[in-house]
C-alpha cells in the first residue's frame, strides 16, 4: 500500500487542537479499522488503472479466443464436409472411369467381332481401331500396326466422305470396279462417349441387294404382264379403226371426204398406239443414273397412262399438278417409283370396289405442289388403307398385304427415292385412305436466272 499525507488547516498556535487531532490519528492508525478505512476511502489510481487494463485485456482475449474457437469449429466442420464431398466425388469418378474402361473394352470387342467392317475414327480421319473385316475390305495386312487415314481408303473412305457426323439410318453406296462389276455397300456412322470419335460401319450387301433386285424384277414382271394385257386391250380399238380405213381405201381411196377422214383419224390412232408402247418401254427400262433437270408434273404425265391401262376396273384418277416445279436428279428411278405408287393405289381402290363400295366415293388423286423449299408428289387414294403397324412395315423388304405380292415394290421404290436424293412419306388409316409422298429439293435455277 502506498503512503498517503493528510493536511488539516488550524489556527496559528492552536496547540490543543493540534494535539487532539494528532492523538486521534495515532489512535486510528493503531486500530484494526485503519486498513479498512484506507481501502474504502483512499483510492490508488495507479492500481485502479492497472486493474482496468487487465480487465479489458482479459475481455479482449476472451473475445479473441471465442472468435478463434468459432472459426476453428467452422473450419473443422467445413473440412469434414469437404472431405466427405471429395470422397463422394472420388467414388463417382472411379465409377465413371470404370464405366468408361468397360465401355471402351466393350466397344473394342464389338468392333473386333462384328460381322461388318467396323472402325473407330476421329473426325479428322485418324483411324484408332479397325477390325479384320475392314482390313480385308481395304487389303490392309492384319499385322500392319500403322493404320492409314480413312480418307485414303478406297471403299470405306468413299463411304466416309458421303456420311454426315451422325446418321439416323444407314445409307447405300454403289461402286463400280475396274472390271465393270458393281458392288453395293451399306454404311452408318454412330457417336461415342468421346465427342470427336465415331464408330463407322461398312457392310458389303451386294448379294442381298441383288436378291432384292431379282425379287423386285419378278414383281415388276407381274406388273408388266398386267400392263401389257391392258395395252393389248387398248390397242384393239385403234387397230380396228386403222383396219377399217385400210379395207375402205381400195374402194374409196379417191373420195376427198374419205381421204380427209383418213388423214385425221389414222395418224391419231397410230400416235395413240405409239404412246402406249413408249409408256411400256419407259417402265420396263432399268433405272439409269443420268442426272437431269425436269418438271415433276411431266413425270406424272408419263406415269398416268400406265395407271389407266393397268386398271382392271374403271378407277377415277384426279390430278392437281403445279407444272413449274423442277427437280434435278435421275428421272427413270423416280418414274418407276411413281408407277409403283400409282399401281398400289389403283389396286387398293379396285379391292374396295370388289367389296361393293360406292364408286362415287372411290378415287385416286395425284398432286404436285411446293412445300417450303421442296417439291412434293403426292398419291392419295380412298382404298383399303393400312393399320399403323402396317404403315411402319410397308416399306420393309418382303412385307406385303397382298395374297400374291412379293413385298418388294415399296421397298425398292423407297430405295430408288433415297438414292436419287428424295424421301418417302406414308400415311394411312385402315378402310379409309392411304397417302404417299415423294419429297425432293426444288431446283430453282429458272427462278434465279
CA–CA gap between residue 432 and residue 449 (Å, rounded): 44
How many other CB atoms sit within 10 Å of the CB of residue 335? 23
Domains plus CATH for the chain? 114-204 (3.30.450.20), 209-448 (3.30.565.10)
pLDDT band, residue 215 (cuts 50/70/90): low
Closest CA to 439 of 357, 353, 372: 372
CA–CA gap between residue 151 and residue 125 (Å, rounded): 6
Which pLDDT score is estimated for 356? 83
* pLDDT at 447 exceeding the cut of 60: no
Q: For the segment 322-337, what is each residue's pLDDT rounded down to a tens digit?
A: 999 999 998 888 988 8
Give mean pLDDT, residues 340-358.
88
pLDDT band, residue 30 (cuts 50/70/90): confident
The SS3 call for residue 295 is strand
* pLDDT at 222 exceeding the cut of 70: no
Which pLDDT score is estimated for 449? 41
* pLDDT at 219 exceeding the cut of 60: yes
Q: Are 189 and 166 in contact (CB under 8 A)?
A: yes
Residue 137: alpha-carbon gap to chain centroid: 29
Average pLDDT, the chain: 79
pLDDT band, residue 24 (cuts 50/70/90): confident
Which pLDDT score is estimated for 23? 81
Closest CA to 434 of 375, 335, 352: 352
Q: Are 185 and 159 in contact (CB under 8 A)?
A: yes
Which of 200-209, 219-228, 359-368 is predicted with the least confidence, judged by mean pLDDT?
219-228
Q: For the segment 177-190, what is each residue's pLDDT rounded down to a tens digit?
A: 777 778 889 898 88
Cell of 125: 480421319
* pLDDT at 287 exceeding the cut of 60: no
Higher pLDDT, 1 or 364: 364
Give mean pLDDT, residues 432-436.
93
**Strand runs labelled E in 284-332:** 291-295, 317-321, 326-330
Which pLDDT score is estimated for 448? 46
Q: What is the separation, in whole angstroms, between the first and last Cα of the chain?
A: 119
Q: What are phi and psi of 176, to 5 degrees?
A: -105, 130
pLDDT band, residue 234 (cuts 50/70/90): low
Which pLDDT score is estimated for 324? 93
Closest CA to 391 of 429, 361, 424, 365: 429
Which pLDDT score is estimated for 3? 53
Q: For the segment 91-135, what is each residue's pLDDT rounded down to a tens digit?
A: 887 777 666 665 555 555 555 556 788 888 999 999 988 888 888
Higher pLDDT, 435 or 339: 435
Beta-bridge partner residues of 374 = 371, 441
Residue 48: alpha-carbon gap to chain centroid: 89
* pLDDT at 35 exceeding the cut of 80: no
DSSP 3-state percent helix, strand, coil across the chain (nearest 5):
55, 20, 25
Which pLDDT score is estimated for 227? 60
CA–CA gap between residue 371 and residue 192 (Å, rounded): 35
Which pLDDT score is estimated for 44? 65
pLDDT band, residue 408 (cuts 50/70/90): low
CA–CA gap between residue 176 and residue 155 (Å, rounded): 11
Give mean pLDDT, residues 143-161.
89
Specify which of 25-39, 277-291, 434-448 reaches the highest per-range mean pLDDT: 434-448
Amino acid at each position: 500500500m502506498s503512503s498517503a499525507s493528510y493536511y488539516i488547516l488550524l489556527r496559528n498556535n492552536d496547540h490543543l487542537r493540534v494535539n487532539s487531532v494528532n492523538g486521534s490519528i495515532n489512535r486510528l492508525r493503531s486500530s484494526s479499522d485503519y486498513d479498512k478505512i484506507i481501502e474504502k476511502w483512499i483510492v490508488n489510481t495507479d492500481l485502479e488503472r492497472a486493474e482496468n487494463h487487465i480487465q479489458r485485456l482479459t475481455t479482449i482475449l476472451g473475445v479473441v479466443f471465442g472468435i478463434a474457437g468459432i472459426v476453428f469449429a467452422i473450419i473443422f466442420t467445413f473440412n469434414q464436409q469437404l472431405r466427405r464431398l471429395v470422397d463422394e466425388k472420388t467414388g463417382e469418378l472411379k465409377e465413371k472411369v470404370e464405366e468408361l474402361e468397360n465401355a471402351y473394352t466393350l466397344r473394342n470387342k464389338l468392333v473386333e467381332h462384328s460381322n461388318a467392317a467396323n472402325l473407330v475414327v476421329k473426325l479428322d480421319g485418324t483411324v484408332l481401331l479397325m477390325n479384320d473385316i475392314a482390313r480385308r475390305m481395304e487389303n490392309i495386312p492384319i499385322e500392319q500396326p500403322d493404320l492409314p487415314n480413312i480418307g485414303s481408303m478406297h471403299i470405306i473412305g468413299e463411304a466416309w466422305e458421303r456420311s454426315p457426323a451422325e446418321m439416323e439410318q444407314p445409307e447405300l453406296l454403289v461402286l463400280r470396279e475396274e472390271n465393270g462389276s458393281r458392288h453395293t455397300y451399306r454404311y452408318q456412322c454412330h457417336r461415342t462417349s468421346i465427342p470427336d470419335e465415331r464408330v463407322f460401319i461398312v457392310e458389303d450387301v451386294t448379294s442381298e441387294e441383288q436378291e432384292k433386285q431379282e425379287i423386285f424384277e419378278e414383281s415388276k414382271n407381274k406388273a408388266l404382264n398386267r400392263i401389257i394385257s391392258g395395252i393389248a386391250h387398248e390397242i384393239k380399238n385403234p387397230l380396228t379403226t386403222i383396219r377399217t380405213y385400210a379395207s375402205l381405201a381400195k374402194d374409196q381411196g379417191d373420195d376427198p371426204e374419205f381421204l380427209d377422214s383418213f388423214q385425221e383419224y389414222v395418224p391419231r390412232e397410230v400416235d395413240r398406239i405409239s404412246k402406249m408402247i413408249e409408256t411400256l418401254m419407259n417402265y420396263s427400262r432399268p433405272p439409269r443414273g443420268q442426272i437431269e433437270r425436269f418438271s415433276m408434273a411431266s413425270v406424272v404425265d408419263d406415269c398416268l397412262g400406265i395407271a389407266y391401262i393397268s386398271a382392271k376396273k374403271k378407277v377415277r384418277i384426279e390430278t392437281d399438278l403445279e407444272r413449274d416445279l423442277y427437280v434435278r436428279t435421275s428421272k427413270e428411278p423416280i418414274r418407276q417409283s411413281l408407277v409403283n405408287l400409282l399401281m398400289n393405289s389403283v389396286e387398293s381402290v379396285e379391292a374396295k370396289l370388289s367389296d361393293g363400295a360406292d364408286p362415287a366415293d372411290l378415287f385416286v388423286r395425284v398432286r404436285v405442289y411446293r412445300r417450303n423449299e421442296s417439291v412434293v408428289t403426292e398419291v392419295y387414294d380412298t382404298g383399303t388403307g393400312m393399320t399403323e403397324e402396317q404403315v411402319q412395315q410397308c416399306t420393309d423388304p418382303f412385307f406385303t398385304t397382298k395374297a400374291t405380292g412379293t413385298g418388294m415394290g415399296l421397298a425398292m421404290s423407297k430405295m430408288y427415292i433415297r438414292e436419287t436424293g428424295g424421301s418417302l412419306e406414308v400415311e394411312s388409316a385402315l378402310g379409309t385412305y392411304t397417302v404417299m409422298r415423294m419429297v425432293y429439293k426444288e431446283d430453282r435455277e429458272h427462278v434465279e436466272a
